[in-house]
Amino acid sequence: MQGMAATIDALKEKDRFATALAGQAGIVKDLSRDNVIVHVGKPMGSITGWVGTFRWQVWLDYGDAAGEVRARIDGQPAQLWRFEPDLAPEVLLDRAKERLLEEVMKHRDAALDEAQERLGIMQRAAG
């Protein structure tokens, strides 16, 4: 959190600290949401969802080999995962979704920790 004190001072000078503090509180609130929102593509070939502010997606690319599923979090490059080649598409997607949700939760937890730390610093600076 280096540079946070200088940022806070600059915001206070410009009378924008209260707005920034409210914005940071909103970020913490959004990241605190841990409910999973899911959308299944029709015909079933993809599953997309959100956890907090993180968008995630798993999908089958019919050019890939049997048992392969693609996955990504928040616009990051897609990962290619390999599962048993004899699994049905629905099972492949479900397994990939569960695996990706574990990763998404780790990303969300790390982002939430950072956001809460920034909010705490800002709240202490507010007095």
52: nearest Cα among 72, 77, 73: 73
**pLDDT at 7 exceeding the cut of 90:** no
pLDDT at 1: 56
At residue 11, the 3 state secondary structure works out as helix
Domain boundaries, the chain: 4-126
Q: Which tens digit of pLDDT belongs to each residue from 41-96? A: 765 688 998 888 889 999 998 888 999 999 999 989 999 999 999 999 989 999 99
Residues 6+ apart with CB under 8 A from 20: 11, 122
pLDDT at 70: 94
Residue 40 DSSP label: E
Name the residue with higher pLDDT: 30 or 28.
28
Q: Which tens digit of pLDDT belongs to each residue from 83-100? A: 999 999 989 999 999 999
Percent of the chain topping pLDDT 90 = 42
